């Protein structure tokens, strides 16, 4: 059983504004009393009893902490400290000030292929590292890609929210129905044994960076039906000026059989991401 610090988190960190909240709990800005350094604190309510449905089981928080500790990478949010009390666990993580990639892309008129490639390279580096550790994120989406600083010319991506992540053990099957409808892979919907390949379903760019799903239906049910039946279309208004090499990249990821998809490592050497010559590079 993982041991977290039993001291009061407020003896070490001054709790600031709430930055956001969701299924994952509440995230606040915090200031380290000893150094004045600014961090983010993710506050998770623990389940009070086995019969309660409120709060998280401690073992699921332990799993998230162990996974974050196994993933020191410049494009993955860093974990600094963990405190626990009877009712709560607090993860102290690096503060990410540039907001969500989803909002950054939405605010731009349109993302050039060159900009999409720069973001995808960072995402693929992080995903390739995760997968090399047999860890899958299982909730990759633009909302879980944050930017350290969105004002710079080449924003640095940090992947967050490892609440659904899983570390595979050789020979041990893992199934889950969790995820976000627009982004989950067919094998998740069909409750089939999963693998790190389910993460590669997300990397259908430049579409995904726009937050648009080629499977988008009028309801979640319709979206899920579209995914399992591989019924998708790339609307011209998003896809008409996308290069042939980008479409090839996408076609090699939108494969129903997980074993047929490119791996993150193979994506990093695909001509769209790593052009053979300067002339081949996207604009």
Ligand X SMILES: COc1cc(-c2ccc3ncc(-c4cccc([C@@H](O)NCCN(C)C)c4)n3n2)ccc1O
- Catalytic residue list: 139
By the rule CB under 6 A, 138 interacts with ligand X: no
Pick the closer one to ligand X by CB: 211 or 214.
Answer: 211
**Minimum CB–partner distance for residue 130 and ligand X (Å):** 15
**Binding mask of the shown chain, residues 154 to 173, with x at each position contacting ligand X by CB under 6 A:** ------xx-x----------
Phi, psi (degrees; rounded to nearest 5) at 75: -110, 15
Of the residues 61, 67, 77, 194, which one makes contact with ligand X according to CB under 6 A: 77
By the rule CB under 6 A, 111 interacts with ligand X: no
DSSP 51: T
Q: Rounded to whole angstroms, what are the CA distances from 38 to 22, 30, 98, 213?
A: 22, 6, 14, 35
Tell me how many degrees the CA angle 126-181-136 measures, rounded to the nearest 5: 30
By the rule CB under 6 A, 118 interacts with ligand X: no
> Does a cis peptide bond (omega within 30 degrees of 0) precede residue 206?
yes
Pick the closer one to ligand X by CB: 138 or 272.
Answer: 138
Residue 88 neighbours by CB under 8 Å, 6+ apart: 43, 44, 45, 46
By the rule CB under 6 A, 93 interacts with ligand X: yes
| Token code pair at residue 126 | 């992080």
Pick the closer one to ligand X by CB: 96 or 127.
Answer: 96
Binding site for ligand X (CB under 6 A): 19-22, 24, 27, 40, 42, 77, 91, 93, 95-96, 100, 143-144, 160-161, 163
């Amino acid at each position: 059983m993982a041991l977290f610090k039993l001291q009061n988190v407020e003896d070490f960190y001054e709790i600031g504004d709430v930055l956001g909240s969701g299924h994952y709990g509440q995230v606040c800005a915090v200031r380290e009393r000893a150094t004045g350094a600014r961090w983010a604190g993710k506050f998770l309510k623990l389940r009070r009893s086995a019969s309660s449905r409120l709060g998280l089981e401690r073992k699921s928080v332990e799993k998230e902490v162990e996974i974050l500790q196994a993933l020191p990478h410049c494009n993955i949010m860093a974990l600094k400290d963990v405190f626990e009390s009877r009712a709560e666990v607090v993860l102290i993580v690096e503060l990410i000030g540039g907001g969500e990639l989803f909002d950054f892309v939405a605010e731009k008129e349109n993302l050039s292929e060159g900009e999409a490639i720069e973001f995808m390279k960072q995402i693929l580096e992080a995903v390739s590292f995760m997968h090399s550790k047999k860890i899958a994120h299982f909730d990759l989406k633009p909302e879980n890609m944050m930017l350290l600083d969105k004002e710079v010319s080449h924003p640095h991506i940090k992947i967050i929210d490892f609440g659904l992540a899983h570390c595979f053990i050789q020979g041990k099957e893992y199934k889950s129905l969790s995820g976000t409808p627009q982004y989950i892979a067919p094998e998740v919907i069909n409750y089939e044994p999963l693998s790190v390949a389910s993460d590669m379903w997300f990397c259908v760019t430049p579409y995904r960076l726009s937050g648009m799903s080629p499977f988008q239906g009028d309801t979640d049910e319709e979206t899920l039906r579209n995914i399992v039946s591989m019924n998708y279309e790339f609307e011209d208004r998003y896809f008409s000026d996308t290069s042939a090499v980008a479409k090839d990249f996408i076609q090699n990821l939108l494969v129903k059989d997980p074993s047929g998809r490119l791996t993150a490592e193979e994506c990093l050497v695909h001509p769209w991401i790593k052009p053979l010559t300067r002339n081949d590079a996207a604009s």
